[in-house]
Chain A
Amino acid sequence: MAGVNLKIKKRLLFILGTFTILTLMLVLRIAWIQIYSGKEYQEFAYNQQTKNRTISAKRGTIYDRNMKPLAVSGSVDTVSASPQEIRKQKLDIDKISGELAAILDMDKETVKKKFTKNNQYELIKQKIDREIGNKVREWKKENKISGIYIDEDTKRFYPNRNLAAHVVGFTNIDNDGLDGVERMMEKYLKGVPGKILSETDASGMALSMSDEKFIQPQDGNDVILTIDETIQYFAEKALEKAISDNNVLNGATAIVMDPRNGEILALASKPDFDLNNPRGVPKGKDPETWTGKSKEDVEYLQQTVWRNKAVVDTYEPGSTFKPVTAAAGLEEGAITPDTQVTDATVKVGGWNINCWKPNAHLHETFREGVYNSCNPVFVRLSQKLGVPLFFKYVKAFGFYDKTGIDLPGEARSIMFTNPTEINMATASFGQRFQISPIQLIQAYGAIANGGDLITPHVVKEVVDETGSVIKKYEPNVVRKVISRQTSDTLKSILQGVVDIGTGKNAKIPGYKIGGKTGTSETIVDPKLQKLNIVGKNKRYIVSFSAIAPTDNPSLCVLVVLDYPDMYNPGGGMLVAPVVGKLIDDILSYKGVEKEYTEEDKKQLLQEVQVPNIKGKTVEEAVKLLKQSKLEYKIEGSDTDKKAIVQDQTPKSGALLHEKSIVILYTYTPKEEATVKVPDVKNKSVYDATQAFKKLGLNIRVNGTGTAVSQNIDAGTKVKKGAVIEVIFRNVVSD
């Protein structure tokens, strides 16, 4: 039988149909992929390709306001490889793994594992020094290996390490900003990475057959901050000293702001960290188990060193809030500085509210009420205003809103949503609600600058590589809160607080400083217990908020210490001198002349150097001492003018206040201590000085107020004329 029978033909036709249908399905599928989703795939291909080998854009520099670099990008190299390409060359993988590992200071097995992967691209090591990168280049050339790439990369360096860590922020290994300005200004700093779209051969030459597409990176823009590196340094030093002096357990923060435009000049938060190693092992953590990357470790970092307490934390402001209450009262005409008030116990909703010195001041002017920080005075004032009006001002001063500062993670205040009379009474003196430090300094800014609430900010300008300004951050006035008159009145009252009130420790003769102390008692919550922050005493948060100079304010300063572990850490006593010293440093640095009032001058005993009078006649010695405005006392039987001074106490060169005593010996004294040092504790400067003078001793006065300690214990025998340093403090609390 020739040919093919009908049945076969029928079935062949069926198969023909099937093949055609299958082919049609292929076509439809291809059309779907290529025409319907082609664009998507193309983009994917491009991204995937360029993600592999990029030329990093140089991240912009972060400068302080005086163009001092705070964050810079250095050139480094990143080594990657194409395992497929390497295997194709039939090289001794074991050998080259070992050699490369040695150059890169890596584990040989790790490198070998990467080489044996079935990938087109494998990262070997990121961010190696240029020097090492060059070594790899040479090694690659010598051994004629292709498939190993050394690409230029950049790495972030922070020349000032810990300085302004929370403001500047840091990046991850891919140079993406993670915190601070690095994060907030990411879009300006980052730049656009360049791309390499083909391979090169062993000698680094582009392969002839592939046209290398090279897209130049666009470098990031530079960011100029409002921060002043020097002021930041002062602030950090001041905090560090305050923390160690007062055994502060839960960190501290200091903010310095220019009230005229909301520019933050310094913002420090402690504890802090080295920006060059943000994931380093914190104190008290075991370096063996610490990774810095596990969820637990990162949480720990976020709760401790990474935490920007100025912005992220909330706390009860305590008496530092009283100026807000005062401002409301003054603005509404509910009170004047000279209105008679009383600090007698006030009863609110069944609760008695006392002054910190119960009923001690009784009748006083409102001005004195602020000096003395009497709670009942403020409660009564708020009651006079009433709940709606009082909280209208709390709101107007921005305590219900975030300030909008250009730093990440700003906390929302914890405020009464439907305030009652009792809420208002406690709020009037800053208790039972929580705000962030940055909110408080914003409010002080409004008090200082004549009533404008201005958004605080840390970024001043963005500039391109030619230095021309791309974006400028102008002061943003949120609203007018109080009149200039109220502002001026309040500043004069606050200056009084520092001059003669509870803030006396902040006084710096020559500068007009206004300010207010604050203390609030709080609890050691489970979070702190978990961090093992548990002290011997109750947890207080003490603070001092200041304006300077009060006649033309250019500074607002707030310092908050969280949990100084002591029995009664009055806010004025602990923090005021820190703020005073800080303002002194800043204003001197800014070249603000000190203008001494008559009273200041009286207090200012100039220090003089003791002249050398040994070997001179008594007559000559007395003359010399008089020139130095020093007093003298002659010891020895020979008081003749012509007698020779055999010895003197203190020795020449020592620094003494004017009118101190220098003892002249007309005989050679035995090296024996003859005078017992008296106990001057709780004495005033005058009384202590007199007590010492009587015994022929000299005093070195440190601070004002009453004596709290002396450097040589009472009862110790010293030589006549010896100098004893005594520390005086205004011991007050509120």
Chain B
Amino acid sequence: MPLDAPFIQRALIEALLLSGLAGVLGSWIVLRRFAFFAHGVGTAAFPGLVVAGPAGVAPQLTGLAAALLYAGGVEWLGRTRRVATDAATGLALVAALAIGVILASDVFEAPASVDRLLFGSLLGLSDRDLWLTAAALAVALVLDLRLRRSWLTQGFDPATARALGVRAAVADPLLLVAIVLACVVALDAVGALLVTAVLVIPAATVRLVAPSVPTLQAGTAALAAVEGVGGLWLAYELNIGPGPAIAVLGGSVFALVAAVSRWR
């Protein structure tokens, strides 16, 4: 792998920035059981990404708009109680994928880009992509510093959170916003369908053995960095997509750690 090539350097920096997001937010995604929400946000952003190219705007912007529309739609459907939340989520995800595919292949007639949008391209990033990921990481770090006790208490013991002086009504929506931002900036690297490979799988793996939240966050960041760089190397050497390579590597490590921790 040519480390002096700018596209490889950008890919490595992005992998490390995403590992920071995985450490800070991935841990909360797993602890607070927002893994499916994160997967949903990634998938829902797909039609937004399709529109970005022909519209000449940043894909992160249209992806964010689509993701927020999805999150708001699911929340509204759930609140009306006319549709169960899981059914509403399934409905929204199928609609997002179908609309994205129709837009890409029949409206904008660019079917070749569908693979890239769904599975990402860590090797084709711009400087702007890196700056956006860095900004999302900065936001995540600030929110984590300010709200981690609220997120912890509300997750561990929601019945008592308010009596302990925790304001979950503000903290939890901000956690969801941070997750949406993290998913959107990860889309270029790993695509709409593999966001969880970066934001969920490393945290779920370390979760099997971590004794505390700080250990979980540090361990997740380290593992995500190793899997990101390792997946990138595998992708380059085997001439396969970096997103799928990272996902397969992450899944394999998870299976190994799960088996070993169970055996011990």
A and B: partners?
Answer: no
- B contact residues vs A (CB 8 Å cutoff): none
- A contact residues vs B (CB 8 Å cutoff): none
